[in-house]
Protein backbone atom coordinates (compact mmCIF):
# COMPACT_ATOMS: atom_id res chain seq x y z
CA UNK A 1 0.00 0.00 0.00
CA UNK A 2 1.37 3.40 -0.98
CA UNK A 3 1.81 5.85 1.88
CA UNK A 4 -0.64 8.73 1.53
CA UNK A 5 1.12 11.08 3.90
CA UNK A 6 -0.43 14.42 4.76
CA UNK A 7 2.17 16.98 5.84
CA UNK A 8 1.53 18.05 9.40
CA UNK A 9 1.03 21.64 8.27
CA UNK A 10 -1.80 20.51 5.96
CA UNK A 11 -3.86 18.74 8.62
CA UNK A 12 -6.89 20.85 9.44
CA UNK A 13 -6.36 22.27 12.93
CA UNK A 14 -9.56 22.57 14.97
CA UNK A 15 -9.99 23.75 18.55
CA UNK A 16 -12.21 22.36 21.29
CA UNK A 17 -12.63 24.13 24.62
CA UNK A 18 -12.34 21.64 27.47
CA UNK A 19 -12.56 22.88 31.05
CA UNK A 20 -11.37 26.31 29.89
CA UNK A 21 -8.38 24.86 27.99
CA UNK A 22 -7.91 24.95 24.21
CA UNK A 23 -7.52 21.44 22.80
CA UNK A 24 -6.18 20.89 19.27
CA UNK A 25 -7.72 18.15 17.15
CA UNK A 26 -8.32 17.22 13.52
CA UNK A 27 -10.91 15.15 11.66
CA UNK A 28 -10.89 13.71 8.16
CA UNK A 29 -13.20 11.41 6.20
CA UNK A 30 -16.65 9.93 6.82
CA UNK A 31 -17.87 6.59 8.12
CA UNK A 32 -17.26 4.58 11.28
CA UNK A 33 -15.34 6.81 13.72
CA UNK A 34 -11.75 6.19 14.75
CA UNK A 35 -10.00 8.21 17.49
CA UNK A 36 -6.19 8.34 17.32
CA UNK A 37 -4.25 9.08 20.52
CA UNK A 38 -0.54 9.94 20.40
CA UNK A 39 2.18 9.03 22.88
CA UNK A 40 4.44 11.06 25.18
CA UNK A 41 5.83 14.21 23.55
CA UNK A 42 3.99 13.64 20.26
CA UNK A 43 0.93 15.23 18.65
CA UNK A 44 -1.69 14.74 15.91
CA UNK A 45 1.06 15.17 13.30
CA UNK A 46 2.53 11.83 14.37
CA UNK A 47 -0.46 10.25 12.57
CA UNK A 48 0.15 12.12 9.28
CA UNK A 49 1.00 8.84 7.48
CA UNK A 50 -2.11 7.08 8.78
CA UNK A 51 -4.97 9.60 8.79
CA UNK A 52 -5.34 9.96 4.99
CA UNK A 53 -5.11 6.20 4.39
CA UNK A 54 -7.73 5.36 7.02
CA UNK A 55 -10.02 8.19 5.89
CA UNK A 56 -9.75 7.12 2.24
CA UNK A 57 -10.81 3.62 3.27
CA UNK A 58 -14.16 4.92 4.51
CA UNK A 59 -13.60 5.94 8.12
CA UNK A 60 -14.10 9.22 9.97
CA UNK A 61 -10.71 9.72 11.57
CA UNK A 62 -10.26 11.96 14.59
CA UNK A 63 -6.87 12.70 16.14
CA UNK A 64 -6.44 14.76 19.30
CA UNK A 65 -3.59 16.47 21.12
CA UNK A 66 -3.66 15.51 24.79
CA UNK A 67 -3.73 18.42 27.23
CA UNK A 68 -0.12 19.50 27.76
CA UNK A 69 1.10 18.32 24.35
CA UNK A 70 1.12 19.40 20.72
CA UNK A 71 -1.08 22.37 19.96
CA UNK A 72 -3.18 21.97 23.11
CA UNK A 73 -2.83 24.26 26.12
CA UNK A 74 -0.15 23.50 28.69
CA UNK A 75 -1.57 24.68 32.02
CA UNK A 76 0.18 24.13 35.34
CA UNK A 77 -1.66 20.99 36.50
CA UNK A 78 -0.90 17.58 37.90
CA UNK A 79 -0.85 15.45 34.76
CA UNK A 80 -2.11 11.90 35.17
CA UNK A 81 -3.52 9.18 32.96
CA UNK A 82 -6.86 9.70 34.71
CA UNK A 83 -6.90 13.35 33.57
CA UNK A 84 -6.32 12.35 29.94
CA UNK A 85 -8.86 9.52 30.19
CA UNK A 86 -11.44 12.12 31.22
CA UNK A 87 -10.39 14.34 28.30
CA UNK A 88 -10.87 11.50 25.79
CA UNK A 89 -14.23 10.50 27.24
CA UNK A 90 -15.50 14.10 27.19
CA UNK A 91 -14.26 14.58 23.61
CA UNK A 92 -16.17 11.49 22.53
CA UNK A 93 -19.31 12.70 24.33
CA UNK A 94 -19.19 16.10 22.63
CA UNK A 95 -17.95 15.23 19.15
CA UNK A 96 -18.57 11.56 18.29
CA UNK A 97 -21.37 9.98 20.33
CA UNK A 98 -21.29 6.58 18.66
CA UNK A 99 -19.20 3.45 19.26
CA UNK A 100 -15.65 4.25 18.23
CA UNK A 101 -12.45 2.36 17.53
CA UNK A 102 -9.71 3.87 19.70
CA UNK A 103 -6.17 3.73 18.31
CA UNK A 104 -3.21 4.61 20.53
CA UNK A 105 0.58 4.46 20.58
CA UNK A 106 2.65 4.01 23.75
CA UNK A 107 1.01 6.05 26.55
CA UNK A 108 -1.79 6.73 24.08
CA UNK A 109 -2.34 2.98 23.88
CA UNK A 110 -2.62 2.72 27.65
CA UNK A 111 -5.13 5.61 27.65
CA UNK A 112 -7.20 3.85 24.99
CA UNK A 113 -7.14 0.67 27.05
CA UNK A 114 -8.36 2.64 30.09
CA UNK A 115 -11.26 4.14 28.14
CA UNK A 116 -12.18 0.74 26.68
CA UNK A 117 -12.17 -0.81 30.16
CA UNK A 118 -13.88 1.95 32.11
CA UNK A 119 -16.26 3.45 29.52
CA UNK A 120 -17.53 0.53 27.42
CA UNK A 121 -20.28 2.67 25.88
CA UNK A 122 -17.58 4.56 23.96
CA UNK A 123 -15.95 1.59 22.30
CA UNK A 124 -16.37 -0.53 19.18
CA UNK A 125 -12.80 -1.82 19.39
CA UNK A 126 -9.23 -0.87 20.16
CA UNK A 127 -5.88 -0.81 18.36
CA UNK A 128 -2.82 -0.69 20.63
CA UNK A 129 0.58 0.09 19.11
CA UNK A 130 3.50 -0.74 21.44
CA UNK A 131 1.24 -0.02 24.41
CA UNK A 132 2.98 1.39 27.47
CA UNK A 133 2.72 -0.47 30.75
CA UNK A 134 2.41 2.77 32.73
CA UNK A 135 3.01 6.49 32.57
CA UNK A 136 6.23 5.87 34.51
CA UNK A 137 8.09 2.85 35.84
CA UNK A 138 6.85 1.38 39.08
CA UNK A 139 9.50 1.01 41.82
CA UNK A 140 9.15 -2.77 41.84
CA UNK A 141 9.96 -2.87 38.10
CA UNK A 142 13.45 -1.45 38.62
CA UNK A 143 16.52 -2.88 40.32
CA UNK A 144 17.79 -0.96 43.34
CA UNK A 145 20.56 1.09 41.63
CA UNK A 146 18.23 2.13 38.82
CA UNK A 147 15.46 2.89 41.31
CA UNK A 148 17.79 5.25 43.18
CA UNK A 149 18.93 6.90 39.95
CA UNK A 150 15.36 7.47 38.82
CA UNK A 151 14.48 8.93 42.20
CA UNK A 152 17.33 11.44 41.88
CA UNK A 153 16.38 12.22 38.27
CA UNK A 154 12.75 12.98 39.12
CA UNK A 155 13.84 15.34 41.90
CA UNK A 156 16.17 17.16 39.50
CA UNK A 157 13.50 17.38 36.79
CA UNK A 158 10.97 18.92 39.18
CA UNK A 159 13.49 21.40 40.61
CA UNK A 160 12.63 25.03 39.85
CA UNK A 161 16.34 25.78 39.57
CA UNK A 162 17.73 22.87 37.55
CA UNK A 163 14.54 21.58 35.87
CA UNK A 164 14.24 24.30 33.18
CA UNK A 165 17.96 23.99 32.32
CA UNK A 166 17.67 20.21 31.96
CA UNK A 167 14.50 20.51 29.85
CA UNK A 168 16.16 22.99 27.49
CA UNK A 169 19.00 20.52 27.00
CA UNK A 170 16.70 17.55 26.38
CA UNK A 171 14.53 19.36 23.83
CA UNK A 172 17.40 20.45 21.57
CA UNK A 173 16.78 19.20 18.05
CA UNK A 174 20.08 17.31 17.94
CA UNK A 175 19.20 15.49 21.16
CA UNK A 176 15.67 14.74 19.96
CA UNK A 177 17.16 13.17 16.84
CA UNK A 178 19.54 11.02 18.91
CA UNK A 179 16.67 9.92 21.16
CA UNK A 180 14.56 8.91 18.16
CA UNK A 181 17.52 7.00 16.74
CA UNK A 182 17.28 4.75 19.79
CA UNK A 183 13.70 3.75 19.02
CA UNK A 184 13.39 3.97 15.21
CA UNK A 185 15.11 1.18 13.28
CA UNK A 186 14.62 2.98 9.96
CA UNK A 187 16.53 6.22 10.45
CA UNK A 188 15.20 7.61 7.17
CA UNK A 189 11.86 7.92 9.00
CA UNK A 190 13.45 10.47 11.37
CA UNK A 191 12.77 13.46 9.15
CA UNK A 192 13.11 17.16 9.84
CA UNK A 193 9.31 17.28 9.87
CA UNK A 194 9.19 14.68 12.65
CA UNK A 195 11.78 16.58 14.71
CA UNK A 196 9.86 19.81 14.23
CA UNK A 197 6.51 18.39 15.33
CA UNK A 198 8.11 17.31 18.63
CA UNK A 199 10.32 20.37 19.09
CA UNK A 200 7.82 23.16 18.32
CA UNK A 201 5.37 22.41 21.17
CA UNK A 202 8.31 22.21 23.59
CA UNK A 203 8.80 25.95 23.05
CA UNK A 204 5.29 26.77 24.30
CA UNK A 205 4.85 28.47 27.70
CA UNK A 206 4.29 25.79 30.33
CA UNK A 207 5.91 22.95 28.36
CA UNK A 208 8.69 22.47 30.90
CA UNK A 209 6.19 22.22 33.79
CA UNK A 210 4.19 19.62 31.85
CA UNK A 211 7.38 17.61 31.27
CA UNK A 212 8.25 17.70 34.97
CA UNK A 213 4.71 16.81 36.05
CA UNK A 214 4.47 13.84 33.68
CA UNK A 215 7.85 12.40 34.71
CA UNK A 216 6.90 12.55 38.39
CA UNK A 217 3.28 11.34 38.00
CA UNK A 218 1.89 8.01 39.23
CA UNK A 219 2.19 5.21 36.65
CA UNK A 220 -1.55 4.47 36.59
CA UNK A 221 -3.25 1.08 36.11
CA UNK A 222 -1.46 -1.81 34.45
CA UNK A 223 -2.65 -3.49 31.24
CA UNK A 224 -3.07 -6.68 33.28
CA UNK A 225 -5.63 -4.86 35.46
CA UNK A 226 -7.46 -3.36 32.48
CA UNK A 227 -7.63 -6.21 29.96
CA UNK A 228 -10.20 -8.35 31.84
CA UNK A 229 -12.60 -5.39 31.77
CA UNK A 230 -12.40 -4.85 28.01
CA UNK A 231 -15.49 -6.14 26.21
CA UNK A 232 -14.60 -5.33 22.60
CA UNK A 233 -12.14 -6.81 20.08
CA UNK A 234 -8.53 -5.65 20.23
CA UNK A 235 -5.73 -5.44 17.69
CA UNK A 236 -2.29 -5.29 19.29
CA UNK A 237 0.57 -4.28 16.99
CA UNK A 238 4.14 -4.37 18.27
CA UNK A 239 7.37 -3.14 16.71
CA UNK A 240 9.69 -6.02 17.55
CA UNK A 241 12.82 -3.88 17.92
CA UNK A 242 11.44 -1.47 20.51
CA UNK A 243 13.88 -0.96 23.41
CA UNK A 244 11.43 1.22 25.40
CA UNK A 245 8.52 -1.23 25.54
CA UNK A 246 10.20 -4.52 24.59
CA UNK A 247 8.08 -7.13 22.90
CA UNK A 248 8.75 -9.42 25.87
CA UNK A 249 6.20 -7.27 27.70
CA UNK A 250 3.53 -8.27 25.18
CA UNK A 251 3.11 -11.69 26.78
CA UNK A 252 0.04 -10.48 28.69
CA UNK A 253 -1.71 -9.75 25.38
CA UNK A 254 -0.81 -13.11 23.87
CA UNK A 255 -2.23 -14.81 26.96
CA UNK A 256 -5.38 -12.68 26.77
CA UNK A 257 -5.84 -13.74 23.13
CA UNK A 258 -6.38 -17.33 24.29
CA UNK A 259 -9.74 -16.40 25.84
CA UNK A 260 -10.78 -13.11 24.22
CA UNK A 261 -11.04 -11.54 20.75
CA UNK A 262 -7.51 -10.18 20.45
CA UNK A 263 -5.30 -10.23 17.35
CA UNK A 264 -1.57 -9.83 17.92
CA UNK A 265 0.70 -8.71 15.06
CA UNK A 266 4.47 -8.26 15.52
CA UNK A 267 6.20 -5.95 13.04
CA UNK A 268 9.85 -6.97 12.40
CA UNK A 269 12.69 -4.43 12.23
CA UNK A 270 10.47 -1.70 13.66
CA UNK A 271 10.67 0.26 16.87
CA UNK A 272 8.45 2.09 19.34
CA UNK A 273 6.29 4.02 16.83
CA UNK A 274 5.37 1.50 14.12
CA UNK A 275 2.56 3.65 12.70
CA UNK A 276 5.09 6.36 11.80
CA UNK A 277 8.19 4.29 11.08
CA UNK A 278 6.49 1.51 9.11
CA UNK A 279 3.04 2.67 7.93
CA UNK A 280 3.19 0.32 4.92
CA UNK A 281 2.89 -2.57 7.37
CA UNK A 282 0.66 -0.92 9.98
CA UNK A 283 -2.02 0.70 7.80
CA UNK A 284 -3.00 -2.51 5.96
CA UNK A 285 -3.00 -4.46 9.24
CA UNK A 286 -5.39 -1.96 10.82
CA UNK A 287 -7.69 -1.87 7.77
CA UNK A 288 -7.83 -5.67 7.47
CA UNK A 289 -8.72 -5.95 11.13
CA UNK A 290 -11.32 -3.15 10.96
CA UNK A 291 -13.05 -5.03 8.14
CA UNK A 292 -13.73 -7.93 10.56
CA UNK A 293 -15.63 -5.81 13.10
pLDDT digits (tens, 9 = 90+) for 183-239: 999 999 999 999 999 999 999 999 999 988 888 888 899 999 999 999 999 999 999
**74 has a pLDDT exceeding 80:** yes
Give residue 142's pLDDT.
45
Phi, psi of 289 (to 5 degrees): -70, -45
**154 has a pLDDT exceeding 50:** yes
pLDDT digits (tens, 9 = 90+) for 12-64: 999 999 999 999 999 999 999 999 999 999 999 999 999 999 999 999 999 99
**103 has a pLDDT exceeding 70:** yes
Give residue 215's pLDDT.
83
Give residue 219's pLDDT.
86
Secondary element (H or E) of residue 262 = strand 262-267
**145 has a pLDDT exceeding 80:** no
- Higher per-residue confidence, 134 vs 87: 87
> Does residue 67 contact residue 83 with C-beta atoms inside 8 Å?
yes
Average pLDDT over residues 93-107: 97
- Higher per-residue confidence, 229 vs 142: 229
Q: Which residues of 101-140 are buried (b: 16+ CB within 10 A; e: fewer)?
A: bbbbbbbbbbbbbbbbbebeebbbbbbbbbbbbbbbeeee
Amino acid sequence: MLIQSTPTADLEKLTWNWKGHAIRYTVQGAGRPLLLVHGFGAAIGHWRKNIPVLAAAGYQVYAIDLLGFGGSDKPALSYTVELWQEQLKDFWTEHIQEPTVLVGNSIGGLLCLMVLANHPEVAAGGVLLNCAGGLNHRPDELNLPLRLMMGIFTKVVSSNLVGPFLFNRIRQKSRLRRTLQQVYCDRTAITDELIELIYTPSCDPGAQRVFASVLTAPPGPTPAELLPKVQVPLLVIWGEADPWTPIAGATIYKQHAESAPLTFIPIPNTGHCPHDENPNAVNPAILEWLATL
